[in-house]
Amino acid sequence: MKVTVIGFWGGYPARNEATSGYLIEEDGFRLLVDCGSSVVSQLQNYINPEAINAVILSHYHHDHVCDIGTLQYARLIKGYLGMELPALPVYGHAEDKNGFSSLTYKGVMKGIEYNPNASLTVGPFTITFLKTQHPAPCYAMRIETEKASVVYTADTSYFDEMVHFSMKADLLICECNLYKGMDGRSAGHMTSTEAGMLATKADVGELLLTHLPHFGNHQDLIHQANETYTGTTQLAKSGYIWTK
Ligand SMILES: [Zn+2]
Ligand SMILES: [Zn+2]
């Protein structure tokens, strides 16, 4: 399994970068997890947008879905230029009717509702879900193949069920929008300390901190997470690659 960070900012993208977007590949199948602002632009540093086989969305906040419309236009234009592309399957929950209905577009993209209580098979991946604690309905995902398991927290404040859900994952892609000592419960985000605690309790193989804040020194996030978690910890950055 190969994970490439396309974008990692919370809220809005810093210059020349993107908000949430993670390309997960195995056996030539390319799954894009979340499609935030500037993801389609950044994605082209690695693959063409038409090479994506499926997209899955955690929730419908702009920093996770902003470039869905951009991806629709990219496929529409490639079609005008003569490329024959199937409708791209985009998996999302249907608890936000407006968000979900915007996924299906002109035969170039097809929205498919996922059932968060069941496991979903997409290409070589088996995906299970956990509803997070966030102002909008949002789902964390556990994405597994025979080779590896990756848990993506999406947006959430810390809660204990995340520990079981993340248990022994090879990689925990953990949102870390806040620093030690802050309180993320009303905003629905986690601190560095909570990310470290989650990684420790769930005994994950590696910790990747993402959905990073637009303030403070990001290196502090690593040090604060490592006050509890002693495993390999990285800050997400554009083009960061993890493989197993
Ligand atoms: Zn977000
Ligand atoms: Zn959000």
**The predicted structure's pLDDT at residue 149:** 98
Ligand 1 centre from 177 Cα, in Å? 9
Ligand 2 centre from 213 Cα, in Å? 13
For residue 173, the cross-strand partners are 152, 208
Which listed ligand is nearest to 20 at the C-alpha?
A: 1
Mapped onto helix, strand or coil, the DSSP state of residue 77 is helix
**Stretch 190-219: mean pLDDT, rounded?**
98
Ligand 1 centre from 81 Cα, in Å? 34
pLDDT tens per residue across span 42-96: 999 999 999 999 999 999 999 999 999 999 999 999 999 999 999 999 999 999 9
Helix then strand then coil, % of the chain, to nearest 5: 20, 30, 50
Which listed ligand is nearest to 60 at the C-alpha?
A: 2
Ligand 2 centre from 187 Cα, in Å? 9
pLDDT tens per residue across span 134-156: 999 999 999 999 999 999 999 99
Ligand 2 centre from 136 Cα, in Å? 7
Mean pLDDT of the chain: 98
Ligand 1 centre from 133 Cα, in Å? 12
188: alpha, beta or left? (left if phi > 0; alpha if psi -120 to 50): left
pLDDT tens per residue across span 158-203: 999 999 999 999 999 999 999 999 999 999 999 999 999 999 999 9
For residue 9, what pLDDT band results from cuts at 50, 70 and 90? very high
For residue 212, what pLDDT band results from cuts at 50, 70 and 90? very high
**Structure-block tokens of residue 17:** 């970068």
Ligand 1 centre from 66 Cα, in Å? 11
For residue 31, what pLDDT band results from cuts at 50, 70 and 90? very high
Ligand 2 centre from 148 Cα, in Å? 26
Ligand 2 centre from 177 Cα, in Å? 11
Gap between the Cα atoms of 36 and 66, Å rounded: 5
DSSP letter string, 54-70: EEE-S---HHHHTTHHH
**The predicted structure's pLDDT at residue 37:** 98
**Stretch 238-243: mean pLDDT, rounded?**
98
Q: Which residues place a Cβ less than 5 A from the ion ligand 2?
A: 61, 155
Ligand 2 centre from 59 Cα, in Å? 7
**The predicted structure's pLDDT at residue 227:** 98
Could you tell me which of 32, 87, 89 has the C-alpha nearest to residue 65? Answer: 32
Ligand 2 centre from 62 Cα, in Å? 8
Could you tell me which of 202, 211, 205 has the C-alpha nearest to residue 233? Answer: 205
pLDDT tens per residue across span 110-122: 999 999 999 999 9
**The predicted structure's pLDDT at residue 211:** 98
For residue 5, what pLDDT band results from cuts at 50, 70 and 90? very high
**The predicted structure's pLDDT at residue 176:** 98
Residue 206 in contact with residue 171, Cβ under 8 Å?
yes
**Structure-block tokens of residue 153:** 């927290």
Could you tell me which of 17, 16, 49, 45 has the C-alpha nearest to residue 32? Answer: 49
Residue 168's identity, in one-letter code, is K
Chain center to CA of 155: 9
**The predicted structure's pLDDT at residue 172:** 99
Ligand 2 centre from 155 Cα, in Å? 5
Local structure of residue 212 (DSSP, 8 states): B
Local structure of residue 50 (DSSP, 8 states): G
The crossing angle, in degrees rounded to 10, of helices 192-201 and 218-225 is 40
